[in-house]
Amino acid sequence: MIRVLLAEDMLMIRAALSALLRLETDLTVVSEVTRGDEIVPAALEHRPDVAIVDIDLPVVDGITAAAELRERLPECRVLVLTALGRPGQVRRALAAGITAFLVKDAPGERLADAVRRTHAGLRVLDPELVSSAMEYGESPLTQRETTVLREAAKGVSAEETAGRLHLSAGTVRNYLTSAITKTGARNKIDAVRIAEDAGWL
């Protein structure tokens, strides 16, 4: 029996995934969580063989949580749920040593097979997903531009960011302008979207 932990914050999706898994005679769902920071404590308590982890989880994102899980409970393998539209996240996950991915819009019957393959230590990689992830390459942003753009993504003003980073507001605006140029964006909001999709933030 393969013991499964399910980490998904959207109730309907989690319920559907859980229902699909419970149809299989060799799989059992031992824990369900809704936030990234709940994954490791639940895994340490329930000792799953495979953790199915959504990338976009609240509090702690799925990749960060999965990396911590691999460190704290290495015998638990991780299957990441992702969307084709976020190739940068796949690159981050690959860099973190995760080699099992399931695209969220995959047919339901592929879920059980993906869990079994993950449990067996096999790679579960959608060629289109990996190809899309490799397309973006490394971030063109400097560390400071990334930090400033990350603050902008949270809705923090240039003045507040300047105070936090001990810079002048003008310098922060210069970093933002540079980030907009390097990402080929139209404005700050567009730069944030491009950088997030590429996994640069």
**Per the confidence metrics, is the pTM higher than 0.85?**
no
Residue-wise pLDDT for 13-30, tens only, equals 999 999 999 999 999 999
Structure tokens at 147: 């930090």
The 10 Å Cβ neighbour count of residue 51 is 29
Sheet containing 101-103: order of strands: 27-33, 2-7, 50-54, 77-82, 101-103
- Give CA–CA dist 18/5, Å, rounded: 10
Residue-wise pLDDT for 41-67, tens only, equals 999 999 999 999 998 899 998 999 999
